[in-house]
Amino acid sequence: MRRKRDIFLRLVEIVLLVPAFGFLVPPVASEEGHVYHLFPGLAFAVVFFIASQLVAVLRDRSCWWAAILKALLFVSFGWVLFQRVTM
């Protein structure tokens, strides 16, 4: 029974990562000079990523400090990506 639970939680973790990275990619403006805002896309991405990391911690595949570090790196990556696209 534990194996089925682990498989289900791993699947949930992966399903949460897909929209996290999907929301992270900022849309490209079709008009010259129009810039999309960083929020709410990055906020949704961070919520999905943190939920995925929470599932990983619950599965005992990650520890809290590593999950927090990954979340900070994810936010940093999102910020750099947004800055790069809007230049």
pLDDT digits (tens, 9 = 90+) for 44-67: 999 999 999 999 999 988 899 999
**Domains identified in the chain, total number:** 1
Contact 55, 9 (CB under 8 A): yes
Residue 29 lies in a domain: no
Token pair belonging to 80: 């750099």
Residue 20 lies in a domain: yes
| Type of residue found at 53 | Q
Residue 64 lies in a domain: yes
> Whole domain around residue 46: which residue ranges?
2-24+37-85
Residue 31 lies in a domain: no
Residue 71 lies in a domain: yes
12, exposed or middle or buried, with CB in 10 Å at 0-12, 13-18, 19+? middle
Q: What is the pLDDT of residues 70-87, one digit of tens each?
A: 999 999 999 998 888 776
Residue 73 lies in a domain: yes
Nearest to 53, CA basis, from 37, 32, 68, 75: 68
Residue 69 lies in a domain: yes
Distance CA 33, CA 30 (A): 9
Q: What is the pTM of this model?
A: 0.85
